[in-house]
Structure 1
Amino acid sequence: MVQALQAIDRLTDIAGAYGAIFCDVWGVVHDGEARNPPAVAALAEARRAGAHVVLLTNSPRPAEGVREQLDALGVSRDSYDAIVTSGDATRALISAGSRRVFHIGTERNEDLFEGLGLELLAPEEADLVVATGLFDDERETPDDYVALLDRMAARNLPMICANPDIVVHRGERLIYCAGAVARAYAERGQVVHLAGKPHPPIYDVASSLLPKAGVPILCIGDGMFTDVKGANTFGADCLFISDGIHRDELADANGDPARLAEALDGRGLTARFVQPFLR
């Protein structure tokens, strides 16, 4: 039986029932180029109503780097209590492995490695691969990595993926993320470790920051296989943002809650609430 999906007008309609909110960032709070003012206002209002708001993002950067990005986009710090990133959870995985690392990603993501004592090497010399993104995500696709992945696979190098997202919207453009590279590498039979959504470590870190344990938690996000699946695995209610990364894929549902619920059910997923965008 398909679980009913309740459309809500505003977050404040339901926020009072939850002691904490774990909210996605990219695709909900901003699109990589501009903030979503109604979302920022809604989270600030939920905080004033008593909810502890944790921004939960698959960004490969540590929390402070994401905070700086949010500041630059004009996202008020009054709209959240804490930030937990995939990068934060990933650092623990890196710390447990070899210090001889090959990095796939841009230099701006190398703050992930600060204080870990790593040696960044070529793939022929490394013992571990850490993927934070593509080298040039504005122009490259995973197809550009076939030869590199084959070279890594020939050495059976394990990979840590700091961002399990496959794609995100940057403005109106679709940008590939580290998860797309990691998926292609796993298809070669290689070992890939992931710590971001939908996997438990990032939720464990977020839960540890709550002032009170055991409170009802609402997860908010637009990614079916990251945010919704993560909420389902974690055992929390989910507010699905339908006009996000899957807006083209779900266009035939035309925003109808029953048809959106069927789309989620067909993917083995459920959500309790839905909005086209957070407000």
Structure 2
Amino acid sequence: MTRIIERLDEISHQYDALLVDLWGCVHNGLEPYPEAVAALERYRASGGTILLLTNSPRPRAGVTKQLIEMGVPENAWHTIATSGDSARMAMFRGVVGQKVYFIGEDHDERFFEPLKLMGDPVEITRVPLDQADGIVCTGPFDPMADPSENRATFLYAKQKGMKLLCANPDIVVDRGERREWCAGALAQLYTEMGGESLYFGKPHPPIYDLARARLAELGKVPATDRLLAIGDGIATDIQGAQGEDIDSLFITGGLAAAETGTDRQPDPAKLDSFLSDKMVTPTYAIGKLR
């Protein structure tokens, strides 16, 4: 049974480290949530470790820069693990070939910057679709366009046996009041059409391996039962935590605000109905991180 809590402080003392989602929890894509930032600052001041665990296709440095520019103070976290870095590591191992067709916006081109790996990374070249071994997708060319616009591209790619590397498994994200499509929506379509999509962010295991490696870099290796995952994505943050046997705090006022009847806090009956339908059971729930 999921317990609805009022504040993070009620439970945070039970955990040595937090794995915190960003979009919908700490910020809305445009500005930070002051109560969420304050909650993380209090937890860090109490001695806890905070790892920001995000399905952003950007490298860690790019997310850090974005947060600082947005006004999230650096004392609200210790380190960051991104879906982008997890996916980049796979790309530079050649999982979709050396010649790749890129689907994404211009600001995500840093995905192809060199990455230090053990051993020698393969050389990746961006090419037109008809010359590609596989596809790298950080998101749609236009986040407001319906994913079905990619059907012709995906039909050709499927016929050629190309794999699609998905750098962000999220289906949608809310930028302020505007809902946008993410790379996960395209990967889902490609899979439905019979293609093969490879995922490296939440809820899939590779990003949790990266998260543990990032904590180890800090000299922090908490036991699994001393980790708490926080997020608003029931199919990413919460399902991923459940798959890793990590306790979770579901932020109901994000992507599922309407379904859970969340104003300040979720409606208990609607929350139970939503969780039953999704067949996922977070340890805790709260309207907004505070």
How far apart are 1:60 and its partner, in Å? 0.4
Structure 2 counterpart of 1:273, from 274, 284, 288: 284
Pairwise CA distance, 1:261: 3.1
d(CA) in 2 for partners of 1:158 and 1:11? 41
Match of 1:118 among 117, 124, 140: 124
Counterpart mapping for 1:124-273 below 5 A: 124-137=130-143, 139-210=144-215, 211-214=220-223, 216-251=226-261, 255-273=266-284
CA deviations over 1:74-96 (Å, ceiling 9, x no partner) = 00110000010001110121012
Stretch moving more, 97-106 or 257-266: 257-266
- State the TM-score, normalized to the length of structure 1: 0.94
Tell me what 1:75 maps to. Answer: 72
What do the CA deviations read for 1:98-148 (whole angstroms, capped 9, x no partner)? 2201010012111111016421111110101011001121x3120221212
1:105 aligns to what?
104
Deviation digits for residues 231-256 of structure 1 (CA, Å, limit 9, x no counterpart): 10010111000010121233399822
Q: Kindly indicate whether the alpha-carbon contact (under 8 Å) linking 1:153 and 1:190 is maintained by their aligned counterparts in 2.
A: yes
Secondary structure, in 3 states, of the residue corresponding to 1:124?
Answer: helix
Runs of 4+ in 1 over 2 A off after TM superposition: 248-254, 256-259
For 2:130, what is the secondary structure of its paired residue?
coil
Note if contact 2:103-2:141 (Cα within 8 Å) is conserved in structure 1. Answer: yes
In 1, are the aligned partners of 2:262 and 2:287 still within 8 Å (CA)?
Answer: no
For residue 266 of structure 1, give the secondary structure of its aligned residue in structure 2.
helix
Identity of aligned residues (%): 40
- For residues 185-236 of structure 1, the C-alpha deviation after alignment (integer angstroms, 9 at most, x for no partner) is 0011111110100001111111122213426100000001001101100101
Unaligned runs of 5+ in 1: none
Deviates more, 1:195-204 or 1:145-154: 145-154
Match of 2:91 in 1: 94
Kindly provide the amino acid, as one letter, of the partner of residue 87 in structure 1: G
Letter of the 1:130 partner, please give it.
V
**Pairs aligned (count):** 275
Shift of 1:258: 4.7
| CA 69–234 in structure 1, closer or farther in 2 if over 3 Å, else same | same
- Aligned residues: CA RMSD: 1.6
Unmatched segments (≥5 aa) in structure 2: 116-122
- Per mean C-alpha deviation after superposition, the further-off stretch among 20-29 and 94-103 is 94-103
Q: Distance in 2 between matches of 1:248 and 1:266?
A: 15
Q: Does the 8 A contact of 1:102 with 1:129 survive in 2?
A: yes
- In the alignment, the residues of structure 1 paired with residue 250 and residue 148 of structure 2 have an alpha-carbon distance, to the nearest angstrom, of 31
In 2, distance between residues paired with 1:213 and 1:243? 28
Q: What SS does structure 2 have at the residue aligned with 1:46?
A: helix
SS in 2 for 1:183: helix
Deviation, 1:25, is 0.3
Q: Partners in 2 of 1:196 and 1:166 — Cα distance?
A: 12
State whether residues 51 and 80 of structure 2, in contact with CA within 8 Å, keep that contact through their aligned partners in structure 1: yes
TM-score by length of 2: 0.91
